[in-house]
């Protein structure tokens, strides 16, 4: 079996085009995506939706400079067919799940639109920086035909950074594949500075957006095409392109019996007693990996 490096699966590539004031990320998911999706019996439409969200979480999370920081991507509408989608990224670890009303979903047919799934929902993007304890969150309407388009709106409205995102998903076969490209314009190296007057019509950005936007679905998904080769195809005419591999991507559900014991220990004895079932256990259900943990009450006292 081919290694992840050989196939380009479960990898992130960072790149910059210095003279165009641009930076980017490319992600391709394979076995990790199968692992996350395999924990849930989602119908095809939600498998595709979660696959897109996991790619976006990897792309956005890879922008974190804090190695222990976390990116959380959350799409929500309490009255939607899908009332909650959550994905997060931390140091290469990915996890996610979708909460939905199956009966209402079945009524929508095989290819429901984003609006049909969420209605007038919102997208929240949260960056938690472990090193400083700071949290940054932006919330935008869940508009557009895809989650990727909603993320582009987030960057322009909340970060004032012109951003192009392309995502491709194929969950139809026995092995799911999903990939994405993120490209951003940082004029004059202004990373981290306030941008009150971002220009979408900057000539350098126009050029980069055209080049990045030309990426094809089959190129993003092709495991025989390395991420470095993909970037070379798109930007080989540029003066200089700098590229570096990010951390390998893994399924990152952090649920364990010990973790839940620590969480439950924070509750008072009376509160914990109310959670106990007839067997003398507190049952904890992890939405991310669909596992349940039986924590004995006596183990917490």
* pLDDT tens-place string over residues 151-176: 999 998 888 889 999 999 999 988 99
Pick from 165, 168, 167: which is nearest to 185 by CA? 165
* pLDDT tens-place string over residues 116-141: 999 999 999 999 988 888 898 999 99
Q: Is the pLDDT of residue 197 over 60?
A: no
The CATH number that applies at residue 205 is 3.55.30.10
Percent of the chain with pLDDT over 70: 85
Distance CA 1, CA 163 (A): 36
Q: Is the pTM of this model over 0.95?
A: no
Pick from 169, 167, 122: which is nearest to 25 by CA? 167
Any domain includes 1: no
pLDDT confidence band for 187 (50 / 70 / 90) = low
For residues 34 and 134, membership in a common domain is answered with yes
Any domain includes 277: yes
Query: Which whole number is the average pLDDT over 68-93?
Result: 94
Q: In the 8-state DSSP scheme, what is residue 131? A: T
pLDDT confidence band for 194 (50 / 70 / 90) = very low
- Domain with 290 in it: 257-300
Residue corresponding to tokens 């839940």: 260
| Residue 190: per-residue pLDDT | 44
Of the two residues 187 and 233, the one the predictor is more confident about is 233
Q: Are 169 and 48 in contact (CB under 8 A)?
A: yes
| Residue 265: per-residue pLDDT | 73
Of the two residues 245 and 190, the one the predictor is more confident about is 245
End of a domain among 232, 251, 270? 251
Q: Are 87 and 95 in contact (CB under 8 A)?
A: yes
**Number of domains observed in the structure of the chain:** 2
For residues 58 and 12, membership in a common domain is answered with yes
Distance CA 163, CA 56 (A): 13
For residues 58 and 205, membership in a common domain is answered with yes
Query: Which whole number is the average pLDDT over 213-240?
Result: 95
């Amino acid at each position: 079996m081919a290694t992840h490096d050989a196939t380009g699966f479960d990898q992130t590539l960072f790149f910059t085009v210095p003279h165009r004031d641009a930076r980017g990320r490319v992600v391709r998911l394979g076995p990790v995506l199968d692992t996350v999706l395999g924990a849930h019996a989602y119908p095809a439409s939600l498998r595709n939706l979660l696959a897109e969200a996991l790619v976006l979480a990897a792309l956005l999370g890879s922008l974190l400079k804090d190695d222990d920081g976390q990116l959380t991507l959350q799409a929500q509408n309490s009255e939607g067919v899908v009332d909650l989608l959550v994905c997060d990224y931390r140091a290469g670890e990915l996890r996610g799940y979708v909460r939905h009303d199956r009966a209402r979903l079945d009524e929508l047919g095989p290819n429901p639109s984003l609006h049909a799934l969420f209605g007038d929902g919102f997208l929240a993007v949260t960056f938690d920086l472990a090193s400083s304890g700071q949290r940054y969150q932006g919330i935008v309407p869940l508009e557009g035909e895809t989650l990727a388009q909603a993320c582009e709106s987030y960057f322009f409205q909340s970060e004032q950074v012109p951003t192009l995102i392309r995502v491709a998903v194929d969950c139809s076969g026995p092995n799911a594949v999903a990939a994405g490209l993120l490209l951003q314009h940082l004029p004059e190296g202004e990373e981290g500075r306030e941008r009150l007057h971002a220009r979408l019509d900057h000539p350098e950005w126009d050029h980069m957006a055209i080049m990045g936007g030309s990426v094809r679905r089959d190129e993003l998904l092709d495991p025989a095409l390395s991420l470095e080769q993909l970037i070379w195809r798109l930007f080989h005419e540029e003066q200089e392109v700098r590229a570096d591999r990010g951390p390998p991507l893994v399924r990152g559900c952090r649920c364990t019996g010990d973790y839940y014991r620590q969480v439950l220990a924070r509750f008072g004895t009376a509160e914990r007693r109310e959670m106990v079932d007839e067997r003398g256990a507190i049952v904890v259900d992890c939405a991310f990996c669909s596992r349940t943990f039986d924590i004995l009450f006596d183990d917490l006292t």
